[in-house]
Amino acid sequence: MQLLTPTNFSQYQLIDSGNFEKLERWGSYITCRPEPQAIWDKRLSNAEWQKQMHVKFVSKSSSSGIWQNVKNMPQRWQMSYDIPQGPTLQFKLALTSFKHVGLFPEQAVNWDFIYHSVKQFKTPAPKVLNLFAYTGASSLAACAAGADVTHLDSIKQVVTWARENMELSNLNNIRWMVEDAVTYAKREVKRGKKYNGIILDPPAFGHGPNGESWKLEDQINQLLKLVAQLLDDNERFLVLNTYSLGLSSLIINNMMADTFKTKNAVNTGEIFLQSSTQQQLPLGVFGRFCE
């Protein structure tokens, strides 16, 4: 099992975490947000948190809330990420009513993997499918490496957000789809389509654009079997990221080992963020391979 954390994301910083919250710097601005994994105590005082933060998210329900301003900051701003030995990706960030800001910084380790996996392929313009693609950071990494990218998410607004990130990053020609991931994967299998890379970052719970229900533990095994039929037999990579308290890296390893007959080992483990106060905040289990 591997433990992975970004080491070169200069514009992002996890300052501290604890008591079910995390204090983060995004460029020039600092947010305080709920974090269910941070069950330990904060290492900085509440006064220090209050002194540093610009805004704090206050939950009003299990799925929404409001941002309380402590200092002035814009509702929308930009930041960037430099892929090692690669280009700079640009992102629009925003304070949303569901506590996110449009980026999951721990996923930078997968952006690097995607970029360099595509770069090593001999296939011209390798085809990459990004399911549950959100605001598109992984799509940008694949596109920047020269891939022919299909970006799919069930929410139209975040697909529009991803398109804006593409334009900010001076990229183009990503194919945009507002669709249910399982429905789309089944249709692509029937069409006999093949992809050199597939990226999966499913939520623990969710709904498709037509009300299709999704529960990770119930459907991830079926989805892996579907995408196995879509992967190219020669040059290919797969990235699976899960954020669910019910899944361990051993579960992911078992499913991927049974589903994908690879020449190379499946790498599994946890992704985390290292705080400035020397905590390791776990933020998901991954499984991936490239051959």
- Structure confidence at residue 203 (pLDDT): 82
Q: Is residue 53 one of the residues assigned to a domain?
A: yes
- Structure confidence at residue 262 (pLDDT): 82
pLDDT (mean) for 77-81: 98
Query: pLDDT tens-digit profile of 200-246?
Result: 999 876 767 777 776 787 888 999 999 999 999 999 999 999 986 66
Q: Is residue 99 one of the residues assigned to a domain?
A: no
176 and 51 within one domain:
no
123 and 261 within one domain:
yes
Q: How confident is the model at residue 31 (pLDDT cuts 50, 70, 90)?
A: very high
20 and 143 within one domain:
no
- What is the model's pTM? 0.94
Q: How many domains does the chain have?
A: 2
Query: pLDDT tens-digit profile of 139-184?
Result: 999 999 999 999 999 999 999 999 999 999 999 999 999 999 999 9
- Structure confidence at residue 247 (pLDDT): 79
Q: Are 117 and 105 in contact (CB under 8 A)?
A: no
- Structure confidence at residue 264 (pLDDT): 81
Q: Is residue 259 one of the residues assigned to a domain?
A: yes
- Structure confidence at residue 35 (pLDDT): 96
254 and 144 within one domain:
yes
- Structure confidence at residue 245 (pLDDT): 64
- Structure confidence at residue 242 (pLDDT): 93
Residue 17 C-beta-side C-alpha neighbours within 13 Å: 25
- Structure confidence at residue 209 (pLDDT): 72
- Structure confidence at residue 244 (pLDDT): 65
- Structure confidence at residue 14 (pLDDT): 98
Residue 62 has pLDDT above 90, yes or no: no
Q: If you write DSSP's letter for every residue of 95-164 in order, what string do you get?
A: --TTS--S--GGGHHHHHHHHHHHHH--SSS-EEEEES-TT-HHHHHHHHTT-EEEEEES-HHHHHHHHH
pLDDT (mean) for 18-40: 97
Identify the domain containing residue 21 by its residue range: 2-76
Residue 259 has pLDDT above 70, yes or no: yes
pLDDT (mean) for 260-285: 93
Q: Provide the CATH number for the domain around residue 59.
A: 2.60.40.1180
Q: Provide the CATH number for the domain around residue 250.
A: 3.40.50.150
pLDDT (mean) for 4-16: 97
151 and 266 within one domain:
yes
Query: pLDDT tens-digit profile of 109-130?
Result: 999 999 999 999 999 999 999 9
Please report, for residues 51, 69, 100, 221, the alpha-carbon distance to residue 66 in angstroms, rounded to integers and kept in the order given: 20, 10, 11, 36
- What's the mean pLDDT when you consider all of the chain? 94
Query: pLDDT tens-digit profile of 271-283?
Result: 999 999 999 999 9
Residue 265 has pLDDT above 70, yes or no: yes
State both tokens at 271.
Answer: 């992704």
Residue 274 CA to residue 24 CA, distance in Å, equals 11
Selection from 148, 284, 270 nearest residue 216 by Cα: 284
Residue 254 CA to residue 172 CA, distance in Å, equals 37
Q: Is residue 29 one of the residues assigned to a domain?
A: yes
